[in-house]
């Protein structure tokens, strides 16, 4: 999912191409996907991210750029994407193939929302834009999901690599520190 404008990131450029430690955000995610057991990758771009579409070598599906849910629905309508489909936001520079493979193994059937404890995001000093209650805990979506139909379940993992979504300049600073160490 690479259709974001990056307005919260306070950048003039496209969010997926925003540099963190000298590399575009999307390159980290594509590297993680390449290092995982994922069979194929399709990048969902929008009218807001034409340079991202030109930057990536993976096949592209164009979405309307009307927000994450509308863009996800448009991407999933593409014939190249069979269910279940693993979806990954382009703003996760700490993601690794090993983490993705662990999440894929955790998927049993239906759809899977991957979340982290909101407290972990607070500890790391990164922004928390969306939360929900799951089994009495406040959790935040990670930007990694499996869309496959019913049943739908939430998997909460306390994984710092999934907690750092780069949405604001401070998030980018946290990611840079992790990548340097």
pLDDT computed for residue 31 by the predictor: 97
Q: How far is CA 25 from the centre of its chain?
A: 10
Q: What is the C-alpha separation between 144 and 87, in angstroms, rounded?
A: 6
Residues paired with 141 in a beta bridge: 115
- Please tell me whether residue 20 adopts helix, strand or coil conformation: strand
Residues paired with 155 in a beta bridge: 114
DSSP of 160-175: HHHH----SHHHHHHH
Q: Assign a CATH topology to domain 15-180.
A: Spore Coat Polysaccharide Biosynthesis Protein SpsA; Chain A (3.90.550)
Q: pLDDT 10s digit of each residue in the chain, 181 long?
A: 878 777 777 777 899 999 999 999 999 999 999 999 998 999 999 999 999 999 999 999 999 988 888 888 889 898 888 889 999 999 999 999 999 999 999 998 999 999 999 999 999 999 999 999 999 999 999 999 999 989 999 999 999 999 999 999 999 999 999 999 8
- Please tell me whether residue 154 adopts helix, strand or coil conformation: strand
Q: How far is CA 46 from the centre of its chain?
A: 15
Annotated domain spans of the chain = 15-180
Decide if 90 contacts 15 (C-beta within 8 A).
Answer: yes
């Amino acid at each position: 999912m690479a259709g974001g404008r990056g307005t919260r990131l306070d950048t003039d450029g496209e969010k997926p191409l925003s540099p963190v430690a000298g590399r575009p955000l999307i390159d980290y995610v594509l590297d993680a996907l390449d290092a995982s057991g994922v069979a194929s990758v399709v990048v969902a771009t929008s009218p807001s991210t034409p340079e991202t579409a030109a930057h990536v070598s993976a096949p592209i599906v164009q979405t309307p750029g009307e927000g994450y849910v509308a863009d996800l629905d448009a991407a999933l309508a593409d014939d190249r994407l069979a269910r279940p489909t693993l979806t990954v936001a382009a703003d996760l520079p700490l993601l690794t193939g090993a983490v993705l493979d662990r999440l894929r193994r955790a998927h049993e059937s239906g759809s899977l929302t991957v979340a982290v404890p909101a407290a972990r995001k607070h500890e790391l000093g990164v922004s928390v834009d969306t939360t929900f209650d799951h089994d009495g805990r406040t959790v935040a979506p990670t930007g990694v999901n499996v869309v496959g139909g019913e049943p739908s379940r939430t998997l909460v993992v306390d994984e710092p690599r999934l907690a750092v979504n780069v949405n604001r300049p401070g998030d980018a600073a946290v990611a840079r520190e992790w990548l340097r160490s």
